[in-house]
Amino acid sequence: MPAAVPATPGSRVAVLLSGAGTLCAALLTAAAEPGSPVEVVAVGSDRADAPGLAPARAAGVPTFVIALRDHPDRAAWDRSLAAELTAARPDWVVCAGFMKLLGPAVLAAFAGRVVNAHPSLLPQFPGAHAVQDALAAGVATTGATVHLVDAGLDTGPVLAQRPVPVLPGDDEAALHERIKTVERELLVQTVAVLVTGAPLTSAGTEETSR
């Protein structure tokens, strides 16, 4: 388990999502609580039709869409995303179900300040099919991970993890739903800890050694 990462002063958080946005909705709910150390200042997506943008708009949070198809190549898309995020002046960027790899422009602009939630106990089962891969491997336990983002595919330093048992008869939908319940809580707690600079264990996260 890597050492806790010092927090950047402040609590401004930008969230990136691609789909239903249940992780983002959990962050929005937590940010709305009295005394929350987190302020969600922008929610962005790579898809204009992403349902997860609606709760942000309903909460009065600015939203934006940076679609890959609107750019000549991935590098141009990455630069555009970096510019949009920079304009929001976040202290942290949270990938909450964002299904695109971030490129060098975003990672340079927010070095050490991009967080991702992933539905497995990394380094097991990286990538977009983590739940399916866990079932195919026949493991007894999978889980949720919150980690820092680097240039690799789910390879950044792990911040926190929690296990989720694989139950007899589980299919992908049932297992993923149980993981998402844990993942939402873990992400909210870990982000709150990062922005306050407290030790990660104070969030009630379960650290794992590998």
Give the residue numbers annotated as catalytic, written as ranges. 118
**Cβ atoms 187, 194 nearer than 8 A:** no
- Give first-to-last CA distance, the chain, whole Å: 7
- Residue pair 106/114 in contact (Cβ under 8 Å)? The answer is yes
Contact by Cβ (8 Å): 82, 109: yes
DSSP string for 120-156: S-TTSS-STTHHHHHHHHT-SEEEEEEEE--SSSS-S
